Amino acid sequence: MDSFPLRQKRSSSQNLSALQARLQPYLPTAKYILKRIGIYFLTVLGAVTLAFIFFHLMPGDPLSIVFSQLEKTNLGRVTGGAEVAEAYKRLLGLDQPLPVQYLLFLRNVLIGGFDLGPSFVAFPTSTRDVIFRQLPWTIGYFTSAMLIAWLIGTTIGALLGWLRRIGLTSVAVGIATLLNITPVYIIAIAAIIFFGYHLHWLPTGQPYDPGLTPNWGDIEFIKNVLRHAIMPIASVVLVWGASFSLGMRSLMISVLGEDYLSYAKAKGLTPFMILRDYAFRNALLPQVTALGIALGNTINGVLILEAIFVVPGVGGLFVRAMAIHDFNVMQGVVLLSTVAVLTLSLIVDLLLPFLDPRIRRSND
C-alpha cells in the first residue's frame, strides 16, 4: 500500500518529463516571444516618456507663445494674453509640477486611450479625433504606396539577382540606384512639373477637385480621388520600389553564393524550383524586416509629400499644427508614428520565427 503513492509520484514525474520533452523544441520560441513582447512594452514606455520630456522641457511654454503671438499679430485689439494663458494652463493641468504632469500624461495616453487633450488647430475637437480623421488619407496614400512598392520591388529585385549574369540587368540596376538615392520629394516635384504643368495630364495637388463634395458612394468621385492619387503614389512606388529591389537583389546574390544552392542544383532540381523554394524564400526574410521599418518611417516622408501634394493627412496636419504651435497635435502625431514603428517591428519580429527555423532554434 505504501508503494502506491510512490509509484504514482514516479509516473507523474515521468509524465512531466515527457511533457517537458515534448515542449522542449518550443521553449526557445516561447522565450523569444515573451522577451520580444517585454522589450516592446519597455520601448513604448520609453518612447512615450521621451516624447513627454521633449515636449515639456522645451524653453517657453506653448500657451504663452500662442497668446503672445496673438497679441502681437492683432496689435491693440487682443489683450490679456498672459491671463488667458494662465486660465488655459489650469484647465489643461499644466500648472501642476512636472512629475504629476508626467503621471497624468501616462494615464491619459496609455489608459485613457491616446487622450492628449484638445487640439488647437480645431479647438474644442480633441487631438485624438483630429488625428484619426486625417489618418485614413495618410494610410490610403502612403501606406498602400509602400506596400505596392514592396511587392513590385521585391519581385524585380529577386529577378535582377537571379539573372545577375545577364548584362542587361546592370542597366536596370543603374536606374534603380539612381532612383533609390533621389529623395521622394524631388521625384514628386519633377513629376508635377512634367505631368502636371507640362503635359497637363494629371492634377498637381489636392485630394480631389476643389468643387466636389466628398461622397464615397459616387463612382465619379472615387475616380477623381484615384486620379489625384496617381502622382503621389507613383513617386513613392518609384523611389521605394527601387530601394526594395536593390535590397532584394543583393540579398539574392548573397544567398545564391551559399553551398546549399549548389547542392540543390546537384540534386537535379529545376532552376525555377531553386529560385522559388531555396533562393527566394531565404532572401525574403530580411526583406520583410525592411518593409516593417519602412512602413513605420512613413511619417518622415509623408511630412514633405503631403505638403507638396496638399493631401489632408497627418503629415500636412503636423505642418499646420506647427505653424500655430499646436503642441498637443504635434505630440500626438509623433507618438502615433513612434508606436506604429514599434508595433510594426514587433509584428515582424514575432512573424520571423515562423518564417525562419534558424531563429526558432537559436536561444537568443
Asked whether the beta carbons of 37 and 346 are under 8 A apart, the reply is: yes
For residue 114, what is its C-alpha cell? Answer: 491616446
Residues at the contact surface with other proteins, assessed by CB under 8 A: 42-43, 46-47, 50, 54-55, 58-60, 164-165, 177-178, 181-183, 185-186, 189-190, 192-193, 196-197, 204, 253-254, 257, 296-297, 299-300, 303-304, 307-308, 318-319, 322, 325, 330, 333-334, 337-338, 341-342, 345
3 state SS of 79: coil
Q: Of 92 and 307, which has the nearer Cβ to other proteins? A: 307
Q: Of 25 and 46, which has the nearer Cβ to other proteins? A: 46
Q: Rounded to the nearest whole angstrom, what is the least distance from the CB of residue 87 to other proteins in the complex?
A: 23
Q: Rounded to the nearest whole angstrom, what is the least distance from the CB of residue 111 to other proteins in the complex?
A: 22
Q: Rounded to the nearest whole angstrom, what is the least distance from the CB of residue 317 to other proteins in the complex?
A: 11
The residues pairing with 118 across neighbouring beta strands, listed in sequence order, are 126
Q: Of 204 and 224, which has the nearer Cβ to other proteins? A: 204
DSSP string, 297-343: THHHHHHHHHHHHT--SHHHHHHHHHHTT-HHHHHHHHHHHHHHHHH
Dist CA 21 CA 41 (whole Å): 31
Q: Rounded to the nearest whole angstrom, what is the least distance from the CB of residue 43 to other proteins in the complex?
A: 6
Query: Which DSSP letter does residue 24 get?
Result: G
Q: Rounded to the nearest whole angstrom, what is the least distance from the CB of residue 257 to other proteins in the complex?
A: 5
Count helices and strands (H / E) in the chain.
17, 0
Angle at 351 between CA 256 and CA 184, to 5 degrees: 70
3 state SS of 215: coil
Q: Of 28 and 196, which has the nearer Cβ to other proteins? A: 196
Q: Of 100 and 190, which has the nearer Cβ to other proteins? A: 190
